[in-house]
Amino acid sequence: MGPFGFAVFFIVIEFWQAVNGSRCNVYKGKWVYDASYFNPLYNFTDCPFILEQFNCQHNGRPDHLYQKFRWQPTACILPRFNGRDFLQRFRGKRIMFVGDSLSSNQWLSLVCLLHKSAPHAKYTSQRIGGLSTFSFPAYRVSIMLSRNAFLVDIINGKHGRVLKLNSIWGGQLWKGVDVLIFDTWHWWLHTGRKQSWDYVQDNNVTHKDMNRTVAYEKALRTWARWVNLNVDPAKTKVFFQGVSPDHMNSKDWVDRTANTCVGEIRPLLSGEYLAGPHPAQVILNKVLRSVSKPVHLLDITGLSQQRKDGHPSVFGYRGRHGIDCTHWCLPGVPDTWNELLFAALIQT
């Protein structure tokens, strides 16, 4: 066994002992400042694939402090992301993110992490319709993104676009994929020009509108039925990204000196987020209990609520003409989400 093999072996054993010795919950912990934190895992010059709206340093963000905080679970060691190990483990496999632009945030983070780990490995990148695929031919690994903001279907009807809460034909694309990571929430509250549909259909009843959290839960239950009917746990691992929080209202973290995430350069280090549990996460947790097949929740909500400093703010694709306190800078918080994904994959 070479040096790389020994490193991988000890990463796995260290994590296994930490988790199984203390029944560790890797999602409970705190952000700690670490000046040497991977320097960071990559930087924007290492990864030409970062979308402009996530490329905060390229867009002029002057501070780097937000890149120097790592997630420290309370009772165990979170293994460092090892891209070569990841590629070896998933040789010949397909990994698909399904969701909205927060899925895109995490997908691009993983692409950057893997590209940094194997900078000389040849790759291919293509987008066909709503499906983007980044592949490493030497490993026969594909990292895919299926853009599907609601998981359920939207169809063009005679009188406009219809959001069908009980229909999930889009799921045909997900069948047989080795790892699925789902996400939905960001678009459910949009109205006006940002709203993606004109009507909502619930079973055989069509509404002009309805309570959005009710519609969200109904869609999640349709997704849960799809998982129960279509996933073979021996072939497919299923994850749900959890709900990524925004930081548009500083009352959520009781900062009278700010209104939004603009100007924030440090996380909440007290671990307190006074707004409490995210209401969409409460609904998601309830629905996940109804899924009979194994689904691993990437419980990113609480730890991300503490990262008011991690958003593009005025350094997104609109520059100073817009404020983005919803998405995340890359490198940044989604890299931790992928460390947690890596840890979960090691454990399973």
The C-alpha angle with vertex 172 and arms to 166 and 173, in degrees rounded to 5, equals 125
pLDDT band of residue 230 (cuts 50, 70, 90) is: very high
Please state, for a pLDDT cut of 70, what percent of the chain lies above it: 89
The pLDDT of 61-87, averaged and rounded, is: 91
Per-residue pLDDT reduced to its tens digit, 189-207: 999 999 999 999 999 999 9
Q: Establish whether 327 is a catalytic residue.
A: yes
Looking at residue 18, its pLDDT comes to 42
324 given a catalytic annotation = yes
> Minimum mean pLDDT among 7-11, 149-153, 277-281: which range?
7-11
Cβ partners under 8 Å of residue 142, min gap 6:
93, 94, 95, 133, 134, 135
pLDDT for 14 equals 42
pLDDT at site 297 = 97
Residue 329 has pLDDT above 80, yes or no: yes
Q: Which range, of 39-53, 150-164, 169-183, averages the lowest pLDDT?
A: 39-53
- Give the per-residue pLDDT at 321: 62
- Which of 101, 142, 146, 304 is the catalytic position? 101
Helix (H, G, I), strand (E, B) or coil at 267: coil
pLDDT value at residue 1:
42
Q: What is the mean pLDDT of residues 295-307?
A: 95
Q: What is the pLDDT of residue 272?
A: 67
> What is the average pLDDT value for the chain, to the nearest integer?
89
Q: What is the pLDDT of residues 251-271, one digit of tens each?
A: 887 776 668 999 999 998 775
Q: Please pick, among 250, 278, 327, 335, the residue that the annotation labels catalytic.
A: 327
| Higher-pLDDT residue of 105, 275 | 105
17-37 b/e (C-beta count within 10 Å ≥ 16 → b): ebbeeeebebbebbbeeeeee
Crossing angle of helices 279-288 and 212-230, rounded to 10°: 30
> Do the Cβ atoms of 189 and 241 come closer than 8 Å?
no
The per-residue pLDDT for 21 is 42
Question: What is the distance between the alpha carbons of residues 254 and 233, in angstroms, rounded to a whole number?
Answer: 43
Average pLDDT on 288-317 reads 95
SS3 category, 54: helix
Q: Nearest Cα to 293, choosing from 224, 222, 347?
A: 224
The structure tokens 């993110």 sit at: 97
| CA 99/CA 298 separation, integer angstroms | 14
Indicate which residue of 183, 252, 324, 335 is catalytic: 324
Rounded to whole angstroms, the Cα distance separating 280 from 184 reads 10
Residue appearing with tokens 């296994």: 16
Compute the distance between CA of residue 250 and CA of residue 260 in angstroms, rounded to an integer: 5
**331 upstream amide cis, omega within 30 of 0:** yes
Give the pLDDT confidence of 149-164 residue by residue, as tens digits.
999 999 998 889 999 9
Summarize the confidence of residues 276-304 as an average pLDDT: 95
Q: What is the mean pLDDT of residues 78-99?
A: 94
Strands 141-147 and 131-136, by their bridges, are: antiparallel
Q: What is the pLDDT of residues 92-123, one digit of tens each?
A: 999 999 999 999 999 999 999 999 999 889 99
Structure tokens at 346: 């090691």
- Per the CB < 8 A criterion, the answer to whether 108 and 48 are in contact is no
pTM over 0.95: no
| 109 is annotated as an active-site residue | no
Cα distance between residue 146 and residue 130, in whole Å: 6
Q: What percent of the chain has pLDDT over 90?
A: 76
What value does the mean pLDDT take over residues 227-249? 96
d(CA 217, CA 225): 12
